[in-house]
Amino acid sequence: MATKKQAENTNVLSIDIGGTSIKTVLLDENGNMLSEYLKLKTPDGATPKDILSGIVELIKPLPNTYNRVSVGFPGYVKNGIVKTAPNLAKNKWEDIDLGQRIANTLEKSVRLVNDADQQGLGVVEGKGFEIVFTVGTGFGTALLFDGNLLPHLELAHFPINKEEDYDDYIGNKAFEKIGAERWNKRLKKVIEIYKTVFNYDTLYIGGGNSKQIDFKLEDNIRVVSNRDGIKGGAKLWKLADGNNINTLTPEK
């Protein structure tokens, strides 16, 4: 029988960094929640220092019964290094070793991936070609096949017309500018594009603005919550190193 310490070592602190808020919850190795789901507002124009400080503040109420940390980040991440962060501070995030900084700050092993990828691991059924996209501050995407995370593509930055990419077209700034009715028409268009281009088996839609959807979705499209998505932090630790997923350990 496992000792208490051994059992605790299988727990995972899951963190979801968003343009609007930072969320966290303590999970067991199977993704069951062991703590309250906590949220903290993301500062406007958040810098790496702001995000690190926010994480430290947010997790204070949680018990230190974990040795592994999963982090979803709103941008392109490669081997724990942030390459883009379109909805955080401008010109402050390129080639930032955020995964290592979190590992050093929390003194825990860390895996850092795109936030939609982590959410995808938490919500998919693991059957066939499944796509997750998030409509929140920006537009996030994740591709999975039979439950396995495929290489991340920043589809948000593909152009959808001559002036806009998907982030511009369907992100929260667009929602606030054009209103719910026109935004829903745009979302219908995006869904039709994805259906035609990817021929997915199931599409999952998450993010804060998913609650604004006012039209009937096809049977293979499901709305999911951030609470469900953050559970992907446990599955992230079941994946082998590689495919842009590295384990960062605290530097001595």
pLDDT in tens, 168-193: 999 999 999 999 999 999 999 999 99
CB 85 within 8 A of CB 99: no
Tell me what pLDDT residue 243 has: 64
Q: Residues 31, 88: contact at Cβ < 8 Å?
A: no
Q: What is the CB neighbour count within 10 angstroms for residue 90? A: 9
pLDDT at 227: 86
- Domain holding 226, by residue range, is 1-252
Cβ neighbours for 180, distance < 8 A, ≥ 6 positions apart = 212, 214
Residue 54 backbone class (left: φ over 0; alpha: ψ -120 to 50; beta: rest): alpha
Predicted local confidence at residue 233, as pLDDT: 96
Give yes or no for a contact between 155 and 145, defined as CB atoms under 8 angstroms apart.
no
pLDDT the model gives residue 3: 43
Environment class of 149 (CB within 10 Å of its CB; exposed 0-12, middle 13-18, buried 19+) = buried
Question: What is the chain's alpha carbon radius of gyration, rounded to the nearest angstrom?
Answer: 18
Specify the pLDDT at position 226: 85
Q: What is the pLDDT of residues 203-251, one digit of tens each?
A: 999 999 999 999 999 999 999 998 888 999 999 999 877 666 889 999 9
Helix (H, G, I), strand (E, B) or coil at 113: strand
* Cα 223 versus chain centre, distance: 15
Q: Specify the pLDDT at position 245.
A: 83
Q: Where are any strands of DSSP class E within 28-99?
A: 38-41, 68-73, 77-78, 81-82
Cβ-proximal residues to 46 (8 Å cutoff; 6+ apart), any chain: 54, 88, 89
The residue ranges of the chain whose pLDDT is under 50 are: 1-4, 6-7
**126: CB partners within 8 A, 6+ apart:** 144, 146, 147
Q: Kindly list the distances between the CA atom of residue 197 and the CA atoms of 4, 169, 191, 192, in Å, as whole numbers in the listed order.
A: 49, 18, 10, 9
Model confidence, pTM: 0.91
Pairing of strands 77-78, 38-41: unpaired
Q: CATH number for the domain including 113?
A: 3.30.420.40
Query: What is the average pLDDT score of the chain?
Result: 92
Q: Are 54 and 68 in contact (CB under 8 A)?
A: no
- Residue 177: exposure state from Cβ atoms within 10 A (0-12, 13-18, ≥19): exposed
What pLDDT does residue 9 have? 79
pLDDT at residue 46, as a whole number: 96
Give the number of domains in the chain. 1
- Classify residue 138 as left (phi > 0), alpha (psi -120 to 50) or beta: beta
pLDDT attached to residue 2: 40
Distance between CA 210 and CA 187 in Å, rounded? Answer: 10
What number of helices (H) and strands (E) belong to the chain?
8, 12
